[in-house]
Amino acid sequence: MRGLRFRKVAVGGTFDTLHAGGHTALLFTALNYGLKVLVGVTSDEFAQAYKAYKVKR
């Protein structure tokens, strides 16, 4: 059951590797709360500086 409360929902993150834990849960939760979801993704440069491992391209 969808708990739609908003027309638009925005989420963001470093999705260099999409995993079943937090990433997909975040996206499905956003889809539950809004009719439209805007997903912001950080740049490769930011992810490389932020993450301890090499960014996959």
At 5 the pLDDT is 87
At 2 the pLDDT is 64
Q: What does the H/E/C string look like for 4-28?
A: CCEEEEEEEECCCCCCCCHHHHHHH
For the chain, the distance separating the N- and C-terminal CA atoms, rounded to the nearest angstrom, is: 36
Residues 29-38 pLDDT 10s? 999 999 999 9
pTM, whole model, 2 decimals?
Answer: 0.67
At 56 the pLDDT is 65
Residues 2-31 pLDDT 10s? 667 899 999 988 876 666 777 888 888 999
Contact 2, 30 (CB under 8 A): no
**How is the chain split into domains, by residue range?**
6-50
Is the model's pLDDT at 1 over the cut of 60?
A: no
